[in-house]
Structure 1
């Protein structure tokens, strides 16, 4: 009896600690901001995946199943897809987090692949749940494929500016420091990508930050060990008006 009891206790403890580790592994870092439209909480999943929570409404951006356990995350009222690449448009995860009335805003090439959603092209503006959403350019100027074509051609993919009351959030998508960033207007919170060769290096990301001028900047879409985040932090030390937060 004692041996069996000890074996049972060992199994229970193993399951407990395994479950605890698994649960903790799925926790996402988050930041909260007070806006005129309510408290905005940003959940950082990883890579280019994140989601916003405000007034019991959920907006997922580029949900990618390899970045987290989406079965443990809330279903979406709105999904924003920046472009059609597989690490941004994951059809299985989109289906998993969708409800009957979930809206999807997507670029044309993404719509052609997914076969659903509302197409937004660069310059389009729309509204969802009272929040204004603008599709803005996202493309490469410098980094090209071997055949000379850009990884992200101009006019194909989107970045998004979401207005939560008086707080404007810019999710840049896969882009470099393009001149259109000068025309975004006041930005309070920005997500700028920093992974080569597809988007920006630290120096380019700094140039983009100086154009966008957010109050809070989240570098995202980078790989630890491959992107020199320390260099970017050093470059931004002299820019007192922008607070840089690393969350990946």
Structure 2
């Protein structure tokens, strides 16, 4: 399976000629990520994870495109792209489904706390093909499964370096790559990735940096 990282939280997966896109948000190159996509998974409603207008346009322009997202996101997209309503599915925690030739299992439940005065929204993490786990804005560790490739939110208003490292240690995937990094400069990125690389290795996780546009086989 080919994994391509885009700016911030967006990732594109390709396998057997099919394409699955996760979290094409407003910080990302959404048109490029969504080109030729067969399915889209959205973790939660924040704009840096879902560019509503771009995704709605993709749903209207590609009559085979399927989308899975928490109900609030699904409802918004049904109103924006009413002709695609039957292809827009509400995703909740504890589900298993198939889309575009990929198997998906859901975990998590809610967005990590930013501040008590900022509402907590639904957040669904997706494990794709029992391999790639995208947690969205959460450090929820999947239970009862082994993750082979972990996407790590390395920087956000809701996390700190110790929590990032503990998430990597807790999941213990053999391989990890960064997401949620658009607000970092090179100095901050180097500091965080240094800790994740060094400490993660003690627990069996190889952390590799990816820049936007980089692709790897996983």
TM range (shorter): 0.7 to 0.9
Please state how far the C-alpha of 1:171 moved relative to its aligned partner: 0.5
Match of 1:101 among 39, 61, 64: 64
Report what 1:210 is aligned to: 169
SS at match of 2:146: coil
Report what 2:214 is aligned to: none
Match of 1:50 among 2, 8, 11: 11
Bigger relative contact order, structure 1 or 2 (CA pairs below 8 A, ≥6 apart): 2
Report what 1:174 is aligned to: 137
Please state how far the C-alpha of 1:194 moved relative to its aligned partner: 2.5
Report what 2:123 is aligned to: 157
Please state how far the C-alpha of 1:238 moved relative to its aligned partner: 3.6
CA contact (8 A) 1:202 1:229 kept: no
SS at match of 1:239: helix
SS at match of 2:195: helix
> Number of paired residues?
197
Q: Return the TM-score normalized by structure 2.
A: 0.80
* Change beyond 3 A, Cα 1:138–1:227: farther
Match of 2:105 among 112, 134, 138: 134
* Change beyond 3 A, Cα 1:132–1:225: same
* Change beyond 3 A, Cα 1:82–1:203: same
CA contact (8 A) 1:44 1:50 kept: yes
CA contact (8 A) 1:123 1:136 kept: yes
| Uncovered stretches (5+) of structure 2, i.e. residues with no partner | 79-84, 212-218
Please state how far the C-alpha of 1:138 moved relative to its aligned partner: 4.9
* Change beyond 3 A, Cα 1:173–1:72: closer
Please state how far the C-alpha of 1:229 moved relative to its aligned partner: 2.6
Q: Return the TM-score normalized by structure 1.
A: 0.71
User: Does 1:111 find its partner at 2:71?
Assistant: no
Match of 2:47 among 86, 94, 97: 86
Q: Distance in 2 between matches of 1:90 and 1:143?
A: 21
* Change beyond 3 A, Cα 1:139–1:193: farther
Q: Distance in 1 between matches of 2:126 and 2:192?
A: 23
SS at match of 2:98: strand
Q: Distance in 1 between matches of 2:50 and 2:192?
A: 28
User: Does 1:244 find its partner at 2:204?
Assistant: no
For the pair shown, which has the larger CA radius of gyration, 1 or 2? 1
Please state how far the C-alpha of 1:82 moved relative to its aligned partner: 0.8
| Uncovered stretches (5+) of structure 1, i.e. residues with no partner | 1-39
Match of 2:96 among 114, 121, 125: 125
Report what 1:186 is aligned to: 146
